[in-house]
């Protein structure tokens, strides 16, 4: 009888080369993304600290932390630190705050610790190697056990080809190895960006992204993303739509650390996109490569434009990755990807 495959969180696995610690650059506590959702228990806890601290948000259709006029969380102090953490301890923060930018995916080989890259503490300056010990406290559930965001047992390479996790790992090892050696990430992905869309056009989708700006930092990311699609598929020359995240990257750039090349920043990001397996629920590896190649092309163009504005190469790449990761996580992008 075939043995049942189980996805497990033990042992905890870190991708070789992943580097991160929280320096408090503060970007994660702003309206680059939704600050939540809060569970009922978290909402009660937050309201004990500040009665207006959490509220129902119609856009997210859930309870979220309230933002201040500058788009930052109402609990963010002028020095960017979290007042909930400072005054009530790390455990008083909602789980989403404790966890970001870390995540955990259960696989047949153990729990893969993942990292988001819309975080200058993850992408810029000297950062210590990520270790399971350092990450573990952020990954525990209220009962003190590591809790997985996702579980993966098998991987679909293409529409008709599903393979064991061990077979996928062989393929992934080759890709991660090339990225670590500094190969061109577009060549590693071996996929053509901007495939033909089903029943829509890239220009129409780009204009909708631009129209969806809402005054938040996330809205600005939509503007950059949409503008860049128009440039790449239609030859238009956009004007930069503003960078409300710049102060967090200023702080990150001021930290000690040798500047990296933009390719190092991009390869690190693509490696984590593969490692996180976030695509596996809805996509095949083949589709994931096309989707990633498209966002990579957008990120590389944004990076070049930021470098022309005078920003350092690694910072330009880190800001570009923030933009394409933010939009990549959104329903706007998921709907476009469904049409690829
Ligand atoms: S509660 Fe604290 S950690 Fe969470 S978003 Fe607000 S300031 Fe940031």
What's the average model confidence in pLDDT over 79-96? 91
- 38 CB less than 6 Å from ligand 1? no
* d(CA 75, ligand 1 centre) in Å: 6
Question: Does 79 have pLDDT greater than 90?
Answer: no
14 found inside a domain? no
For ligand 1, mutation pick of 22, 30, 65 (most atoms within 8 Å of CB): 65
162 found inside a domain? yes
310 found inside a domain? yes
> Whose alpha carbon is nearest atom 5 of ligand 1?
29
pLDDT for residue 162: 94
For ligand 1, mutation pick of 27, 88, 93 (most atoms within 8 Å of CB): 93
51 found inside a domain? no
Question: Does 60 have pLDDT greater than 70?
Answer: yes
Distance CA(189)–CA(289), nearest Å, equals 6
pLDDT for residue 233: 98
- Measured at the CA of 100, the angle between CA 184 and CA 282, to 5 degrees, comes to 60
pLDDT for residue 91: 87
Percent of the chain predicted with pLDDT > 90? 93
213 vs 152, 179, 300, 307, 332, CA distance in Å? 34, 34, 22, 24, 12
- 32 CB less than 6 Å from ligand 1? no
pLDDT in tens, 156-192: 999 999 999 999 999 999 999 999 999 999 999 999 9
60 found inside a domain? no
Query: Predicted confidence band at 1 (pLDDT cuts at 50, 70, 90)?
Result: low
CA 216 to chain centre: 17
3-class secondary structure, 113: strand
Query: Predicted confidence band at 106 (pLDDT cuts at 50, 70, 90)?
Result: very high
Distance CA(217)–CA(65), nearest Å, equals 16
pLDDT in tens, 209-220: 999 999 999 999
Question: Does 121 have pLDDT greater than 80?
Answer: yes
What's the average model confidence in pLDDT over 266-291? 97
3-class secondary structure, 301: helix
Question: Does 238 have pLDDT greater than 70?
Answer: yes
* d(CA 151, ligand 1 centre) in Å: 27
143 found inside a domain? no
pLDDT for residue 5: 87
Nearest ligand 1 atom to alpha carbon 93:
1
Range of the domain at 176: 155-338
pLDDT for residue 185: 98
Total domains in the chain come to: 1
Question: Does 228 have pLDDT greater than 70?
Answer: yes
- 75 CB less than 6 Å from ligand 1? yes
259 found inside a domain? yes
- 73 CB less than 6 Å from ligand 1? yes
242 found inside a domain? yes
pLDDT for residue 4: 84
């Amino acid at each position: 009888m075939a043995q049942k495959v189980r996805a497990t969180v033990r042992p905890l696995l870190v991708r070789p080369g992943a580097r991160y610690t929280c320096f408090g650059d503060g970007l994660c506590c702003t309206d680059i993304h939704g600050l939540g959702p809060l569970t009922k228990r978290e909402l009660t806890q937050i309201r004990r600290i500040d009665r207006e601290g959490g509220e129902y948000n119609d856009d997210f259709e859930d309870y979220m932390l309230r933002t201040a006029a500058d788009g930052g969380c109402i609990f963010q102090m002028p020095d960017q630190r979290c007042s909930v953490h400072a005054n009530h301890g790390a455990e008083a923060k909602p789980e989403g705050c404790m966890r970001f930018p870390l995540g955990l995916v259960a696989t047949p080989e153990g729990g893969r610790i993942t990292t988001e890259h819309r975080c200058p503490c993850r992408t810029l300056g000297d950062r210590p190697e990520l270790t399971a010990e350092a990450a573990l406290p952020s990954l525990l559930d209220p009962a003190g056990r590591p809790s997985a965001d996702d579980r993966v047992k098998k991987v679909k390479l293409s529409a008709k080809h599903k393979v064991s996790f061990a077979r996928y790992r062989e393929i992934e090892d080759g890709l991660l190895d090339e990225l670590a050696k500094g190969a061109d990430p577009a060549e590693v992905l071996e996929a053509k960006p901007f495939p033909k869309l089903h029943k829509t056009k890239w220009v129409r989708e780009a204009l909708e992204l631009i129209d969806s700006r809402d005054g938040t930092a996330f809205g600005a990311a939509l503007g950059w993303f949409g503008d860049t699609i128009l440039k790449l598929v239609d030859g238009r020359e956009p004007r930069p739509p503003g960078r409300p995240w710049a102060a967090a990257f200023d702080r990150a750039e001021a930290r000690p650390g040798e500047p990296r090349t933009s390719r190092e920043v991009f390869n690190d990001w693509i490696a984590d996109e593969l490692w996180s397996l976030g695509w596996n629920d809805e996509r095949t590896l083949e589709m994931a490569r096309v989707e990633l190649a498209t966002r990579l092309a957008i990120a590389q163009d944004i990076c070049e434009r930021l470098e022309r504005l005078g920003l350092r190469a690694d910072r330009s790449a880190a800001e570009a990755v923030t933009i394409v990761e933010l939009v990549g996580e959104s329903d706007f992008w998921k709907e476009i990807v469904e049409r690829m």
